[in-house]
A and B are shown apart, each in its own frame.
Chain A
Amino acid sequence: MKRIAASALAVALLAAGCTNEGGGGSGGTGGDVPGVTDTSIVVGTHMPLTGPAAAGYSKIAPATKAYFDYVNANGGVHGRKIEYKVKDDAYNPANTQTVVRELVLQDKVFAILNGLGTPTHTGVLDFLKTNRVPDLFVASGSRSWNQADKYPGTFGFNPDYTVEGKILATHVKETYAGKKTCFLGQDDDFGRDSLLGVKKILGTVAAEEKYVTSSPNVGPQIGAFKAAGCEVVILATIPPFTALSIGTAAKIAYKPQFVVSNVGADPTTVAKTLGDAAPLMEGLVAANYLPLNTDESNPWIQLFQKVNKEHNAGAEFDNNVVYGMSVGYLFVQALQSAGKDLTRDKIVEVVQKNGFQGPGLVPLRFSAQDHSGYGGEQLTKIEKGKAVYFGTPYTTDDGDGPVTPYTNQPVTPPQSGVPAA
Chain B
Amino acid sequence: MDEFIYLTFDGLSRGLVYAAFALALVLIWRAARIVNFAQGAMAVAAVYAGYSVTNATGSYWLGFVVALLTGLLLGVVVERVVMRFVDHSSPLNGVVVALGLVLIIQGTLGIIYGNEFQPVQTPFSRDAFEVGGIALLSRYDLFVFAAVGSVVVILTLLFTRTAVGLRMRAAAFAPDVSRLLGVSVGGMLTLGWALAAGVGSLAGMLVVPTELGVHPTAMDIVFVSAFAAAVVGGLDSPIGAVIGGLIVGLLLSYVSGYVDVSVTPMAVLALLVVVLLGRPGGLFSSSKARVA
Which of A's residues lie within 8 Å of B, judged by CB? 50-52, 54-56, 58, 90, 187, 211-212, 214-221, 223-224, 227, 240, 243-244, 247, 250-254, 272-276
Contact = CB atoms under 8 A, between A and B. Distances in A.
Nearest to B252: A217
Contact of B261 (A211, A227, A250, A272): A211
B126 A223 contact: no
Interface string B231-271: 00000000000000000000000001100111011000000
B116 A58 contact: yes
Contacts of B261: 211-212, 215, 217-218, 220-221
B262 A253 contact: no
B119 A274 contact: yes
B135 interface: yes
A243 B126 CA distance: 14
Contacts of B211: 216-217, 244
Nearest to A269: B116
A54 B264 contact: no
Nearest to B262: A212
A273 B117 contact: yes
A51 B115 CA distance: 5
B215 A253 contact: no
Contacts of B264: 215
B127 interface: yes
A54 B10 contact: no
A220 B221 CA distance: 18
Of the listed residues B114, B127, B261, B264, the one surrounded by the most CB atoms of chain A closer than 10 A to its CB is: B261
B128 interface: yes
Contacts of A90: 115
Given A223-B257, A250-B127, A252-B135, 17 more contacts: A50-B110, A50-B114, A54-B115, A56-B116, A90-B115, A212-B262, A214-B221, A220-B7, A220-B257, A223-B3, A227-B2, A251-B127, A251-B138, A252-B6, A273-B212, A273-B213, A276-B121
B87 interface: no
Contacts of A244: 211-212
6 contacts: A215-B261, A215-B264, A220-B7, A223-B7, A243-B212, A251-B126
A278 to B, nearest CB: 9
A217 B262 CA distance: 10
A215 B262 contact: yes
A214 B266 CA distance: 13
A217 B257 CA distance: 11
B127 A223 contact: no
Contacts, number: 85
A275 B119 contact: yes
Contact of A223 (B6, B116, B121, B130): B6
Nearest to A271: B119
A100 to B, nearest CB: 21
Contacts of B128: 251-253
Contacts of A215: 221, 256, 261-262, 264-265
A253 B121 contact: no
Nearest to A90: B115
Interface string B129-153: 0100001001000000000000000
Contacts of A273: 117, 119, 212-213
A281 to B, nearest CB: 13
B113 to A, nearest CB: 11
Contacts of A216: 211-212
Contacts of A58: 116
A219 B10 contact: yes
B110 A52 contact: no
A187 to B, nearest CB: 7
Nearest to B110: A50
A211 B221 CA distance: 16
Of the listed residues A50, A54, A58, A219, the one surrounded by the most CB atoms of chain B closer than 10 A to its CB is: A219
A266 B212 CA distance: 16
Interface in B196-241: 211-213, 215, 217, 221
A240 B117 contact: yes
A215 B260 CA distance: 11
A259 B244 CA distance: 40
Contacts of B6: 223, 252
A214 B221 CA distance: 9
Given A187-B262, A251-B127, A227 B3 contact: yes
B135 A240 contact: no
Closest 5 CB pairs of A and B: A275-B119, A50-B115, A55-B116, A252-B135, A216-B212
Contacts of B215: 52
B206 to A, nearest CB: 15
A236 B119 CA distance: 21
Of the listed residues A58, A90, A253, A274, the one surrounded by the most CB atoms of chain B closer than 10 A to its CB is: A253
Interface in B68-127: 110, 114-117, 119-121, 126-127
Contacts of A214: 221, 262, 265
A31 to B, nearest CB: 42
Contacts of A276: 121
B130 A253 contact: yes
B234 to A, nearest CB: 27
Of the listed residues B114, B211, B213, the one surrounded by the most CB atoms of chain A closer than 10 A to its CB is: B213
Nearest to A239: B117
A38 B213 CA distance: 49
